[in-house]
Chains A and B, each alone.
Chain A
Amino acid sequence: MSMKVKTRQVDGITILDLSGRITLGEGSVTIRDAVRDVLAKGSNKILLNLGDISYIDSSGIGELVSAFTTVKNSGGELKLLNLTKKVHDLLQITKLYTVFDVKDDEATAISSFTK
C-alpha cells in the first residue's frame, strides 16, 4: 500500500493528512514533494497528520526529519499530529520525540503555531 496525501487549510495552517506507509520508495518521496509544494506556494506552517500512517521505516523517519529541518530553515514551523503507537514508539527509540512538536488534538495544534 502506497502513501496518500490530502492537503487542507485551517486558519492559515496547511494540514497534510497522510495515510498508508512511509517507506523507502513509497511514502518518503511523496512527503518530500508535498512539503516542497506547500513551501513553493508560500506557506511555511505545516501540520503533518500521521493518524492514518500504518507503518514507517528508517527512511520515513529520515524524511520527517528532513521535512522538519527544511521548513525550519525557511523560517516556518512543522508539527506532527495524531501519532499512532508504532510511530510514537519509533520516535521515542530514535530520540526524535522531543525534537518534533507533537500534538494529539488538531485544534490545539492549530492554535500552537506562531501567529
Chain B
Amino acid sequence: MADSTTMRVSYTLDSSLDSVNKIELTAEQWAERAGFDEDTVPHIAMAVREAAVNAVLHGNSYDTNKHILASFETTADDLIIRISDQGPGLDPDTIPDPLAPENILRGSGRGIFLIRAFMDEVNFRQLHPGTELTLIKHRKPAQSGT
C-alpha cells in the first residue's frame, strides 16, 4: 500500500558511476514506496539515472573535487527528485531534438529527452555554478479541468 507521509532525504555523492548506480537504486526504492506500478517504477528509475549521468558526466566531468546532490521527497501528491551538480550549467533550450532527422543517428543526446518522456514535470534551475534538475511524478492522475 502506498505511503502518503511527506518525507525527504538528501545525499551528497562523489562524481562517479557508483553514485549514478546508487541514485538509480534509491529512486527505484522511493518509487516503489510511493506506490507506483511495475511499469512506472523502471521509468522513474531510468529518468533519475539519466539525470544523475548528466550531473556526473556533463556537469561535473567526473571531477573528484565536485559533488552531486540528490534529494528524494514524497508528498501526498508527488514523488519529487532533485539532482544537482557543480558544473558549468546547462541551458535546456540548447539541447538538440534527438528525434529530428539530422540527429536521429547521433550516438548521444537522448538523456534529457527520456527524462521528459518518463516524468510528468521536469524543471531546470541554474545554480551558478551548476544545474539542478527537478523531476516530478504525480502519485495520482491529474484531474482534468473543465
A interface residues (Cβ-Cβ under 8 A, vs B): 23-25, 55, 57-59, 61-63, 65-66, 68-69, 86, 90, 93-96, 99
Contact = CB atoms under 8 A, between A and B. Distances in A.
Contact of A57 (B50, B107, B113): B50
A61 B17 contact: no
A72 to B, nearest CB: 9
B44 interface: no
A62 B50 CA distance: 13
B50 A69 contact: no
B143 to A, nearest CB: 26
A62 B17 contact: no
Interface of B: 17, 20, 42, 46, 49-50, 53, 57, 98-99, 104-111, 113-114, 117
A24 B114 contact: no
Nearest to B17: A25
B42 A93 contact: no
Contact of B99 (A23, A59, A95): A95
A24 B106 contact: no
Contact of B53 (A24, A69, A90): A24
A90 B50 CA distance: 14
B49 to A, nearest CB: 6
Given A58-B114, A93-B117, A94-B113, A65 B107 contact: yes
Contacts of A99: 104-105
Contacts of B46: 57
A73 to B, nearest CB: 11
**Which of B46, B99, B106, B117: most chain A CB closer than 10 A?**
B46
Contacts of B107: 62-63, 65-66, 69
Contacts of B110: 58, 61-62, 94
Contacts of B98: 94
A69 B104 CA distance: 11
B53 A59 contact: yes
B117 to A, nearest CB: 6
B99 A24 contact: no
Nearest to A94: B110
The 6 closest A-B pairs by CB, nearest first: A66-B107, A58-B110, A62-B107, A25-B17, A58-B111, A62-B108
